Amino acid sequence: MKRGEIWQAVLEPRSGSEQRGRRPVLVLMRDNFLRNERWQSIMVVPISSSQTQAGRGPTNVALPAGMGGLALNSVALCHQLTTLDRNKLEQCLGEVPEAQIKQVEAGVLLALGIEF
Protein backbone atom coordinates (compact mmCIF):
# COMPACT_ATOMS: atom_id res chain seq x y z
CA MET A 1 0.00 0.00 0.00
CA LYS A 2 1.29 3.47 -0.95
CA ARG A 3 0.22 7.07 -0.76
CA GLY A 4 -1.63 8.03 -3.94
CA GLU A 5 -3.09 4.60 -4.60
CA ILE A 6 -6.80 4.02 -5.11
CA TRP A 7 -8.18 1.04 -3.22
CA GLN A 8 -11.56 -0.66 -3.21
CA ALA A 9 -12.75 -0.41 0.40
CA VAL A 10 -15.70 -1.25 2.62
CA LEU A 11 -17.04 1.90 4.29
CA GLU A 12 -19.36 0.37 6.87
CA PRO A 13 -20.75 1.16 9.33
CA ARG A 14 -21.55 4.77 8.43
CA SER A 15 -24.47 7.12 9.04
CA GLY A 16 -26.15 10.20 7.60
CA SER A 17 -24.50 11.66 4.50
CA GLU A 18 -21.18 9.82 4.98
CA GLN A 19 -20.09 7.78 1.98
CA ARG A 20 -20.88 4.14 2.62
CA GLY A 21 -20.79 0.74 1.04
CA ARG A 22 -18.09 -0.74 -1.15
CA ARG A 23 -16.32 2.04 -3.04
CA PRO A 24 -12.93 3.37 -4.09
CA VAL A 25 -10.86 5.51 -1.73
CA LEU A 26 -7.64 7.46 -2.25
CA VAL A 27 -4.88 6.71 0.27
CA LEU A 28 -3.38 9.99 1.57
CA MET A 29 -1.31 8.78 4.51
CA ARG A 30 2.50 9.08 4.46
CA ASP A 31 4.32 6.03 3.11
CA ASN A 32 6.47 5.56 6.22
CA PHE A 33 3.29 5.08 8.29
CA LEU A 34 1.79 2.77 5.66
CA ARG A 35 4.86 0.51 5.69
CA ASN A 36 4.42 -0.08 9.43
CA GLU A 37 2.07 -3.09 9.62
CA ARG A 38 1.29 -2.25 13.25
CA TRP A 39 -0.27 1.03 12.11
CA GLN A 40 -3.83 -0.17 11.43
CA SER A 41 -5.65 3.15 10.84
CA ILE A 42 -5.27 4.41 7.26
CA MET A 43 -6.25 7.97 6.23
CA VAL A 44 -8.26 8.01 3.00
CA VAL A 45 -10.51 10.24 0.92
CA PRO A 46 -13.71 8.56 -0.35
CA ILE A 47 -14.40 8.67 -4.08
CA SER A 48 -17.84 8.99 -5.69
CA SER A 49 -18.89 8.45 -9.29
CA SER A 50 -22.02 10.59 -8.76
CA GLN A 51 -21.81 13.52 -11.14
CA THR A 52 -24.03 15.60 -8.83
CA GLN A 53 -21.02 15.64 -6.47
CA ALA A 54 -18.75 17.13 -9.14
CA GLY A 55 -20.12 20.66 -8.95
CA ARG A 56 -20.66 20.84 -5.21
CA GLY A 57 -17.61 22.87 -4.33
CA PRO A 58 -13.88 23.34 -4.15
CA THR A 59 -13.33 20.36 -1.86
CA ASN A 60 -14.35 17.96 -4.63
CA VAL A 61 -11.55 17.00 -7.04
CA ALA A 62 -12.29 15.44 -10.44
CA LEU A 63 -10.72 12.06 -11.20
CA PRO A 64 -11.42 11.05 -14.83
CA ALA A 65 -12.28 7.50 -15.84
CA GLY A 66 -9.14 5.42 -16.29
CA MET A 67 -7.11 7.38 -13.74
CA GLY A 68 -5.96 5.11 -10.94
CA GLY A 69 -8.03 2.24 -12.29
CA LEU A 70 -11.37 4.06 -11.95
CA ALA A 71 -14.03 2.74 -14.33
CA LEU A 72 -16.11 5.94 -14.30
CA ASN A 73 -15.55 9.69 -14.10
CA SER A 74 -15.36 10.27 -10.37
CA VAL A 75 -14.81 12.84 -7.65
CA ALA A 76 -12.54 12.72 -4.58
CA LEU A 77 -14.62 14.01 -1.65
CA CYS A 78 -11.87 15.84 0.24
CA HIS A 79 -14.27 17.15 2.90
CA GLN A 80 -14.95 13.54 3.91
CA LEU A 81 -11.34 12.66 4.84
CA THR A 82 -11.59 9.66 7.15
CA THR A 83 -9.64 6.81 8.70
CA LEU A 84 -10.31 3.16 7.99
CA ASP A 85 -8.92 0.02 9.50
CA ARG A 86 -6.35 -1.50 7.14
CA ASN A 87 -8.53 -4.64 6.87
CA LYS A 88 -11.29 -2.63 5.15
CA LEU A 89 -9.08 -1.94 2.12
CA GLU A 90 -9.66 -4.90 -0.18
CA GLN A 91 -7.88 -4.37 -3.50
CA CYS A 92 -5.58 -1.82 -5.11
CA LEU A 93 -7.09 -0.44 -8.32
CA GLY A 94 -4.21 1.79 -9.40
CA GLU A 95 -2.25 4.94 -8.69
CA VAL A 96 -3.09 8.63 -9.15
CA PRO A 97 -0.54 11.09 -10.65
CA GLU A 98 1.20 13.52 -8.30
CA ALA A 99 -0.62 16.51 -9.82
CA GLN A 100 -3.97 15.02 -8.80
CA ILE A 101 -2.68 14.20 -5.31
CA LYS A 102 -1.68 17.86 -4.90
CA GLN A 103 -5.23 18.93 -5.85
CA VAL A 104 -6.68 16.51 -3.30
CA GLU A 105 -4.28 17.80 -0.63
CA ALA A 106 -5.43 21.36 -1.39
CA GLY A 107 -9.07 20.28 -1.07
CA VAL A 108 -8.40 18.62 2.30
CA LEU A 109 -6.54 21.69 3.61
CA LEU A 110 -9.38 23.93 2.46
CA ALA A 111 -11.96 21.72 4.21
CA LEU A 112 -9.89 21.80 7.41
CA GLY A 113 -9.29 25.56 7.22
CA ILE A 114 -5.51 25.13 7.06
CA GLU A 115 -3.65 27.72 4.98
CA PHE A 116 -0.08 27.46 3.71
**For each successive 10 residues of the chain (116 residues), what is the average pLDDT?**
95 58 92 89 93 76 96 95 93 97 96 87
pLDDT at 37: 82
Q: What are phi and psi of 71, to 5 degrees?
A: -80, -30
pTM value surpassing 0.85? yes
Pick the CATH number of 5-112 from 3.90.230.10, 3.40.720.10, 3.40.50.300, 2.30.30.110: 2.30.30.110
pLDDT of residue 110: 94
Q: What is the reported pLDDT for 19? A: 56
| CA–CA distance, 75 with 80 (Å, rounded to integer) | 12
Residue 50 has a pLDDT of: 82
Which residue ranges make up each domain of the chain? 5-112
pLDDT at 75: 95
* C-alpha separations of 10 from 31, 109, 115 in Å: 21, 25, 31
Residue pair 85/43 in contact by the 8 Å Cβ criterion: no
